[in-house]
Amino acid sequence: MLVKNLGRVPYLETYQAMQDFSAQRTAETADELWLCQHEPVFTQGLAGSASHVFHAGAIPVIQTNRGGQVTYHGPGQVMAYPMLNLQRAGYFVKEYVYRLEESVIRTLAHFGVTGHRVANAPGIYVRMADPFAHAALTGPTVPGDPFKGLGKISALGIKVSRHCSYHGLALNVKMDLQPFERINPCGYAGLQSIDLFTIGINTTWEEAADVLAHKLTALLAP
């Protein structure tokens, strides 16, 4: 897999480039992993509802063809876009999503943080009170609120066309989290978003991107 660091780039430009790459690729085209960070933007998935955006303000809202609901992208967040031929890799979408999430869990573990999955809510979460605790989640602490005590540190949304993936995942490193308060992140009212810096990990965007890239390339290999 060819890894490309695009730097800080506009979302729309990158979205178009992903679509162009996916439309033009052939069965022999090498897989690529794009790493970047975006100017502030809200993106809506195919299931996105305008009601989940309270006050966009000066931040643009862009409709996309990925799965999921609304989320926010901005400086200080690692965006990872694997352009992967799933048929050639030999696994289905469910397995692909699992591997994406596992790459984030292992990236967090590199920094001593324990990441968790929540059933039926793609992405990775951490315990706000103790992000370094190793105990597994046993279920919601409050009935009907699976996110109680959790913060979302990584969002995930993908598109598969002709057995090939694009879009990908976001890992919050050190960013302005306030825009997340203007939306229901991923469609969940009251869900708190968090980044590595807020839970005590003062790393650079470059280091986090490098660790994540290594985990992704290892886990997405056929």
Just list the catalytic residues. Answer: 186
Q: In one letter, which amino acid is 74?
A: G
Q: Which of 176, 179, 200, 181 is nearest to 192 (CA)?
A: 181
Greatest distance between any 2 Cα atoms in the chain: 50
Compute the C-alpha angle 196/198/202, nearest 5°: 55
Compute the C-alpha angle 83/85/89, nearest 5°: 120
How far apart CA 114 and CA 219 sit, in angstroms, is 18
Element (H or E) spanning 110, and its range?
helix 93-110
How far apart CA 15 and CA 20 sit, in angstroms, is 9
Count H helices and E strands in the chain, helices first. Answer: 4, 11
Cβ proximity of 194 and 171 under 8 Å: no
Residue 118: count of CB within 10 angstroms of its CB: 18
Q: Which two tokens stand for residue 177?
A: 């989290």
